[in-house]
Amino acid sequence: MQVVIERRPTLLLIVVLGLLFVLMTFSRSTRYIGETRTMFERTVMTVFSPVPKAVNWAGQSTADMYHGYLDMRRSVAENLELHHQVLQLTEENLRLRQSQGDLARMRSLLSYSEELPTPTIMAQVVMLDTSSRFKSIIINCGTEAGVEVNDPVVNANGLLGRIVLTTHDMAKVQLITDSNSAVGCLIERTRRQGVVHGDGSSAAQMADIPVLADVVVGDVVSTAGIDGIYPKGIPVGRVIRTDQGKSLFKAVWLLPAVDFSSIESVIVLHTKKIAPEVVRYTP
């Protein structure tokens, strides 16, 4: 049995070779008129013609996939580059808009400072503290720039407060909304004078206004220039509410002219101070 199995491959090879020989011999006499290929050649080409087609299809598909991959990589790279450029342009646009806003604010401050009769110092706010009991801001100018204690601080909208503490390059400003602040003011319509105190939040109250005084909602209040600190005519706020009160004076509430939640640039007024010996002098 084993001898028979070992002879089968040899026998099969002999049979195949014999068939190929017969086919080649037969094909020499089966050439068509005008045909250059034999029957054997035609048979082989018919049998194996799908192979080059399959190879060509596989090669073309591989080439298409490779070029598609390259195109995809190129598109991803271009998309990332465009995204980076969009981010850069957006950042540049924001910087330009911020610079434009800063320039407009600085022009407004410069225009306002030119109208003031006293020497002025431009400063930037570096810290804002309106949440604690003491309402204040810190500015980036100090004694080196000529800032002194009790110098008034304003912006283009009106009065902020006064300098209460200085260092070499910084100063602390007490805001008019602080409960310990006091500003001599007057009602512009009637010229009635009083003292404006902060209420410790975002508003202020005007005291020493007689109960019979003419005060209405909407009246504009400005500095009176009688306290030895603040020059006359700086906007302080406007009346938003009045009550008769239980004494001889009205209770008057003011909305400050300055929005203290959005302070960025300020002007320090270097006013001429009243000498202590003049204040204390008694003839």
In a domain, 102, yes or no: no
Q: How many CB atoms lie within 10 A of CB 152?
A: 23
Q: Where are the beta strands (DSSP E) in 22-156?
A: 120-129, 136-139, 152-154
In a domain, 56, yes or no: no
Considering its fold, how many domains does the chain have in total?
2
**Cα 8 to the chain's mean position, in Å?**
87
Q: Are residues 129 and 26 in the same domain?
A: no
Q: Are residues 134 and 259 in the same domain?
A: yes
Q: Are residues 43 and 128 in the same domain?
A: no
* pLDDT greater at residue 208 or residue 278: 208
Q: Are residues 235 and 131 in the same domain?
A: yes
In a domain, 64, yes or no: no
- pLDDT, tens only, 27-50: 555 554 445 555 556 665 665 566
Answering whether pTM is above 0.75, one says no
Query: What is the structure's pLDDT at 3?
Result: 45
Supply the DSSP symbol for 173.
E
- pLDDT, tens only, 177-202: 998 999 999 999 999 999 999 887 77
Query: What is the structure's pLDDT at 199?
Result: 83
Mean pLDDT, the chain, rounded, equals 78
Q: Are residues 127 and 263 in the same domain?
A: yes
- pLDDT, tens only, 130-178: 766 788 999 999 999 999 999 999 888 889 999 999 999 999 999 999 9
In a domain, 206, yes or no: yes
In a domain, 66, yes or no: no
Q: Are residues 154 and 22 in the same domain?
A: no
**Nearest-angstrom CA–CA distance, 140 and 126:** 6
User: What residues contact residue 189 under an 8 Å CB cut-off, 6+ apart?
Assistant: 214, 219, 220
Q: Are residues 246 and 147 in the same domain?
A: yes
Query: What is the structure's pLDDT at 261?
Result: 83
Query: What is the structure's pLDDT at 91?
Result: 67
Confidence of residue 26 (pLDDT cuts 50, 70, 90): low
Query: What is the structure's pLDDT at 169?
Result: 93
In a domain, 203, yes or no: yes
Q: Are strands 171-175 and 235-243 parallel, antiparallel or unpaired?
A: unpaired
- pLDDT, tens only, 69-105: 777 878 888 888 887 777 677 667 656 665 555 555 5
Q: Are residues 124 and 44 in the same domain?
A: no
In a domain, 100, yes or no: no
In a domain, 83, yes or no: no
Give the residue numbers spanning the domain of 24: 2-48
| pLDDT for residue 106 is more than 60 | no
CATH number of the domain at 175, please. Answer: 2.40.10.340
Q: Measure Cα distances from 251 to 33, 52, 184, 215, 236 in Å.
A: 127, 103, 16, 10, 17
Q: Which of 30-34, 116-120, 222-226 has the lowest mean pLDDT?
A: 30-34
Q: Are residues 161 and 262 in the same domain?
A: yes
**Nearest-angstrom CA–CA distance, 201 and 255:** 11
Confidence of residue 112 (pLDDT cuts 50, 70, 90): low
Query: What is the structure's pLDDT at 77?
Result: 81
